[in-house]
Amino acid sequence: MSTSTSTIVIACCALGTLALKGAGPLLLGGRPLPARLASVVTLAGPALLAALVTTSTLATGTSLTIDARLVGLGVAAVAIRFHAPALLVVVLAAAATALVRLAV
């Protein structure tokens, strides 16, 4: 029975995820996180989300692409800065992207 490389990679990722999820409760055992570590954990989510959005917006394969999506991201950032509701942020970003694509 042959096993493909992708199956091995998926299995290793699953085992690694399981180990990481189990390590926290095993190591801390109900104790609160140290303050320094808690501040890092708090900032990790927004930083990872920002990296994901930026990569999705600017990357095409292995190259950097600057196009209408960047304008939409900029409009969304400004709308978020002014505390616009999430639905309005999405609509404004989509509209800005569509207008730039229409103009170009």
Q: Is the pLDDT of residue 28 over 80?
A: no
Q: Cα(65)–Cα(58) distance, rounded to whole angstroms?
A: 5
Q: Is the pLDDT of residue 71 over 80?
A: yes
CA torsion sign for 94, 54, 80, 42 is positive
**25 assigned to some structural domain:** yes
Cβ-contact 72, 48 below 8 angstroms = no
pLDDT classification of 2: cutoffs 50, 70, 90: low
From 17-21, 30-34, 73-77, the region with the lowest mean pLDDT:
30-34
**pLDDT for residue 17:** 92
Taking residue 36's Cβ as centre, other Cβ atoms within 10 Å add up to 8
From 2-6, 7-11, 64-68, the region with the lowest mean pLDDT:
2-6
**8 assigned to some structural domain:** yes
Place of tokens 């609509």: 91
Total tally of structural domains belonging to the chain: 1
Domain around 26: 1-31
Q: Cα(69)–Cα(58) distance, rounded to whole angstroms?
A: 8
**104 assigned to some structural domain:** no
Which residues have CB under 8 Å from 72's CB, separation 6+? 57, 93, 94, 96, 97, 100
Cβ-contact 92, 56 below 8 angstroms = no
Bridge partners, 63 (sequence order): 60
* Mean of pLDDT over the chain: 89
